[in-house]
Structure 1
């Protein structure tokens, strides 16, 4: 049994295409998506179309990230001073190039989720923290534990940091998923996690795939 965890695509559809080619080749049937699907790279519709194709083809689990929250909030409160040629220009461009269906899709996503497949151990996924998409918990072990100690689950995966990280914290296995589209670890490949169950526990590895950016 293998599961792919994909986070922080940020509209890099070329990176996502490369990851999905690997998923197909490896026969992976279950995909966990950890938020921040669009913004920052152009043509968000191309990424959204790939995600909708995944829904038809794989057993998918989606949670939302802070970027989805920004877009949802702008949809219902458009007077938030987003402007082109500013720090919010990418957000405004993205919002102008997505659909009402995309907004509804984002709204349907929870902030966090416990993924349970058949009789395999559950995996808890979130973007920032179990309660907020913008929380920053990367390498903050005590803060991480305060968020997860009362959750009945052994395995946890976080996004948002754009960096990979793995640690056992008081008996709980904590993973941070690297960014598929905008990695922050001096490696420009498309990056994601693959989890595999070995009859005892979930093991994980970072998969790093070069791709053509043109």
Structure 2
């Protein structure tokens, strides 16, 4: 019998990560499986990376990176022109805060891989879906069916959607632990993860949702200076944390639609007054 903690989508929420670490200290596990998107959407990203280093040193770990890490690694010289703005201000902030050593640490992980644990069937882990780091089984109809039909493993672990979910199709199982740092549960103020128990017969998942120091984390946005750089999307993140509703995603979708309507190439080129109207629309 093997017991592993499964986490994904921390999104810079080091307070949620602290609560998770306290949980596994009190409820020991054999190791940790981490599915990416550790940084970019909150204050002090270096604290999250520090905790990840500690986890990798203390526990048997299987760690991959997500699309947020790829954004940073593909733009280390900021050729994308990130700047203080609603569109990419928090990315700009994160890029400035992380050291070369931090970036090398994140770059050391693959985007997907097999996990073979003695006495248990092999797993496959990814951030979105195999071959598509941003594949979202919650938002893309038919994607889960397509992926599981072709999967060469009995169990697939994925994140990215921020929704805890389990599905069994074609005799194969998909498990998503939800988001540790940015839970989309229509409740708010919770950190999500899963505890996996494996045996020769397969893998079972117990979904967890625990409280953490939300007020301390929200206070760090202003204290750290990220609020001044991230603007509208920072406000969307903070409202999402306390409501469990993904206002960040709502803003991105709405701005994409506006960019298409006005024939602007990308949301990064949208003026701040348009973002300000989104704040009013969503009560940010």
TM-score, reference length from structure 2: 0.71
Counterpart of 2:129 in structure 1 is 129
CA distance in 1, matches of 2:121, 2:139: 24
Structure 2 residue 112 is the aligned partner of structure 1 residue 100: no
- Equivalent residues in 2 for 1:1-214, closer than 5 Å: 1-76=2-77, 78-138=78-138, 140=140, 142-187=142-187, 188-197=189-198, 200-213=201-214, 214=216
State the Cα deviation string for residues 65-110 of structure 1 (Å, max 9, x = none): 110010001115x221211123100000011000111211222211
SS in 1 for 2:142: helix
State the structure with bigger RCO (CA 8 A, min sep 6), 1 or 2.
Answer: 1
My pick for the range that moved more, 40-49 or 198-207, is 198-207
Unaligned runs of 5+ residues in structure 1 are none
CA distance in 2, matches of 1:22, 1:2: 14
CA distance in 1, matches of 2:74, 2:139: 29
Give the greater-gyration-radius structure (CA): 2
My pick for the range that moved more, 200-209 or 50-59, is 200-209
My pick for the range that moved more, 119-128 or 42-51, is 119-128
Unaligned runs of 5+ residues in structure 2 are 217-284
SS in 2 for 1:95: helix
Larger proportion of strand: 1
SS in 2 for 1:194: strand
Distance apart, 1:39 and its partner CA: 1.1
CA distance in 2, matches of 1:51, 1:63: 11
CA distance in 1, matches of 2:84, 2:140: 35
CA distance in 2, matches of 1:24, 1:194: 13
- Contact 1:33 1:61 (C-alpha < 8 Å) held by counterparts: yes
- Contact 2:6 2:34 (C-alpha < 8 Å) held by counterparts: yes
TM-score, reference length from structure 1: 0.93
CA distance in 2, matches of 1:178, 1:99: 28
- Contact 1:156 1:173 (C-alpha < 8 Å) held by counterparts: yes
Larger proportion of helix: 2
Q: CA-atom RMSD, angstroms?
A: 1.6
CA distance in 2, matches of 1:148, 1:164: 17
Deviation beyond 3 Å, 4+ runs, structure 1: 139-142, 148-151
